[in-house]
Structure 1
Amino acid sequence: MLFLSVLSSCLAGVAALPPYGGSQEFFFKGHDLSSLKMLEDGGCIYKDTTRHNQTMPADDILAGGGMNSVRLRVWVNPVDGTYGLQYNLDLAKRFQQKGFKIYLDFHFAEDPQKQPPPAAWPTTLGPLALTLRGYVKDTLVSFHEAGINLDLVALGNEIRHGMLWPLGQADVDVEPWPATVANFSNLAILYKAARAGVDDAIYAGVRKPEVMIHIDNGWNLTLQQRWFGALTANGVPTTAWDVFGFSFYPFYGTAATFDNLRTSLNTLAEEYRKPIQVVETDYPAICNGEYHPIPPSSEPEIPYSIAGQTIWTDDVIKIVQDVPYGLGRGVHYWEPAWLNSTSLGSNCSDAILFTADYSNPAQTVGYSRTSVHMFQVRA
């Protein structure tokens, strides 16, 4: 009975959602700066090479390069507090005071390829959905009570494979199609619960943020059509999200081309008439095979270089800005200031926007590269 009541209440909350009513003008030019506080607390500093190596906060340097929004990733219960609620409240206050729009990305699990639920959460579907709903509400209320207005909220990070495994696991490649739809049933219940948590927060006085669904491989139209088709076939109405968010990287497959990204985004805009953002991308400044074989780029004419970082990102911006009906709404670069993880998870050694100097063991220094100005190519 608990399961049925949770499902019923989630469905009721989602069904009443208003249509998208966001700004028709603002274009997000953002960076994910989730790790910045951890880096600063660990002694990292940043210098602006356009100001005679003046020491400045990384966010100020990036703002000088055209950044107008910041993406933050929030974990449920991180062991040391890094990426947790208070950690993000501190960062969000700082960034909001400087005039940046704030985009919060819920990481219900730390590994998007496995998506395990937090250890203390229930392991049966009804109670898990109820806990998820309450967690989303409580988190959004906490930001509101801290005086922070969230502009974008993503319910899960790269959830192509579902979330909160094993109950919420989903496989878009299952055949035949009825099996694909059935495979998404638990994920749909969990998503509805998370989305109802947003409504609960709004009813508690939180200003409504735009709600995003974020999955990877934004260039893969077949994936996107099947994924969202399976979700909506399970009773998730298209009013249950406001914005499409996609990841798009150059080195996870040579099919991740600009042409394929353009086709995918334009087709989804025609089919759904919803705003679209590329919410994760980056490009290597250094990829010389020192530690791993050099991965082929999906756009091989763009060199792995500092100049290439700007070219790649500017081309992505152009594709998003050209989405029909003005529905292309933003691009976010992933962790440009992460001095102690410069590869950003790729097989290239350096994809950040600062040159790291490790000569002083007590203090890593990041010197801004010309690519920090990537958002100024298209004003």
Structure 2
Amino acid sequence: MNNRRWLKTAALTLLCILLLLPAWTVGGANRVSAAAPAFAKGADISWVAGLEAKGQAWKDKTGRQKDILQILRDDYQINSVRIRVWVNPNMSDYASGYLNAEKAAELAARAKKLGMSVMLTLHYSDSWADPGQQTKPYAWRNLNFTQLMNAVWSHTVYVMNTMKTKGVTPDWVQIGNETSDGMLWPDGRASQGGMKNYAWLVNTGHNAVKSVSSGTKTIVHLASGHDSALFEWNIGGLTDNGAAFDMVAMSLYPATSDWEAKVNQAVQNANNIVAKYNKDAIVTEIGLEYDQAAVTKSFIADIKQKIRSLPNGRGKGVFYWEPEAPPGYNGGYNKGAWGADGKPTQALEGFLN
């Protein structure tokens, strides 16, 4: 009798708990994402959707055709993906356009289904945003600065909610891409009197992300990870102007002749970021020439080990930029990790433990 009473009580208690939980915790399509890996071994896969639309297929090292995301995960221990989002890209341009919020969410959902963590990089442009160009989206070109902040807020929330409809809660979101001289020029061009505006734009994006997912980490991402002076000027300027963000990211594209020195400079820069600004550091873009695969393998292994070894676990990961790109893609990009035969080079073996 006592055992039956106990079992009945336990069953009723469990039922009450389940009824009180939100639907996504019981197995619905919009489950909250699992925690980000302690150390991300990642790949930017943004070109995948456009390549597939053109009929591209990938083989593993044995020559067997497989889903590119499965090859990255199963053969190279890639546990995270990075996906860019443009505001209103030319959707007919498969090579360089294509990834608006909806297409990006579809790609993110594929990765999440395979158990991979997701990083978004919000370009706040209709095309490439990088140190040489931070062009406003065409629809935003005539906005005053208050309206521009509102547009950043609305777009960021829209992207986050679009991801949510596909069952994806990004683990990380970059507020801009390679914003070495700020973003949304000329208003937020840091070197031309716009450092405060740049900080306010970062704040706006950060707050918009957190309004949808408080657990998602926000990132400020700069190019030239070996250049400590750039990072002190940029991150210091943001900090001095009250910008809120969680992490600092860097790109690093060395030559085959100087990669070892550049890695050591970038790691020292990352140490400085942690010590001076109390921010976690992550490397969100690296690459070397596809026909120098043995060197690239050593480069990946070295920077992975050294970033992972930052004090107190403050180094959070390394991402390779577009390893799936075939040689010469999109006007001459040659830093992918697949050859013309459709099979991978040895480069990504640098990620293996």
- Provide TM-score, normalisation by structure 1: 0.76
Q: Does 1:307 align with 2:294?
A: yes
User: What pairs up with 1:37-116 in 2 under 5 angstroms?
Assistant: 37-50=49-62, 53-63=63-73, 64-80=75-91, 82-109=98-125, 110-112=128-130, 113-116=132-135
Task: Check the 8 A contact 1:161/1:169 in 2, yes or no.
Answer: yes
Within 2, Cα distance between the matches of 1:344 and 1:162?
26
Within 2, Cα distance between the matches of 1:253 and 1:189?
40
- Number of residue pairs aligned between Structure 1 and Structure 2: 309
User: What pairs up with 1:359-370 in 2 under 5 angstroms?
Assistant: 366-370=342-346
Q: Which runs of 5+ in 2 are unaligned?
A: 1-33, 93-97
Q: Which has the higher contact order (CA 8 A, sep 6+)?
A: 1
Q: Which runs of 5+ in 1 are unaligned?
A: 1-21, 175-181, 287-304, 358-365
Provide the residue aligned with 1:356 in structure 2: 340
From the CA coordinates, give the structure whose radius of gyration is larger.
2
Within 1, Cα distance between the matches of 2:37 and 2:286?
22
Gap change, CA 1:254 and 1:183, over 3 Å in 2: farther
How far apart are residue 373 of structure 1 and its match? 2.2
How far apart are residue 59 of structure 1 and its match? 1.4
Gap change, CA 1:273 and 1:344, over 3 Å in 2: farther
Within 1, Cα distance between the matches of 2:102 and 2:330?
27
How far apart are residue 254 of structure 1 and its match? 5.7
Gap change, CA 1:96 and 1:207, over 3 Å in 2: farther
Select which of 304, 310, 314 maps to 1:323: 310
**Amino acid in structure 2 at the alignment position of 1:126:** T
Task: Check the 8 A contact 1:343/1:351 in 2, yes or no.
Answer: no
Gap change, CA 1:326 and 1:241, over 3 Å in 2: same
Q: Tell me the C-alpha RMSD between the 2 structures.
A: 2.3
Task: Check the 8 A contact 2:301/2:350 in 1, yes or no.
Answer: yes
* Segments ≥4 residues shifted beyond 6 Å: 22-25, 343-346
Deviations 1:114-149 (A, max 9, x none): 211111114311111111111111211121122112
Provide the residue aligned with 2:276 in structure 1: 271
User: What pairs up with 1:1-379 in 2 under 5 angstroms?
Assistant: 26-50=38-62, 53-63=63-73, 64-80=75-91, 82-109=98-125, 110-112=128-130, 113-121=132-140, 122-171=142-191, 182-201=193-212, 206=213, 208-236=215-243, 240-251=244-255, 257-286=262-291, 305-339=292-326, 341-342=328-329, 350-357=334-341, 366-376=342-352, 379=353
Deviations 1:40-71 (A, max 9, x none): 11111111123xx1111111111121100000
Within 2, Cα distance between the matches of 1:219 and 1:309?
17
How far apart are residue 282 of structure 1 and its match? 0.7
- Provide TM-score, normalisation by structure 2: 0.82
Within 2, Cα distance between the matches of 1:207 and 1:228?
22
Gap change, CA 1:183 and 1:250, over 3 Å in 2: same
Within 2, Cα distance between the matches of 1:66 and 1:344?
29
Of Structure 1 and Structure 2, which has the larger fraction of its residues in helix? 2
Task: Check the 8 A contact 1:343/1:352 in 2, yes or no.
Answer: no
- What percent of counterpart residues are identical? 28
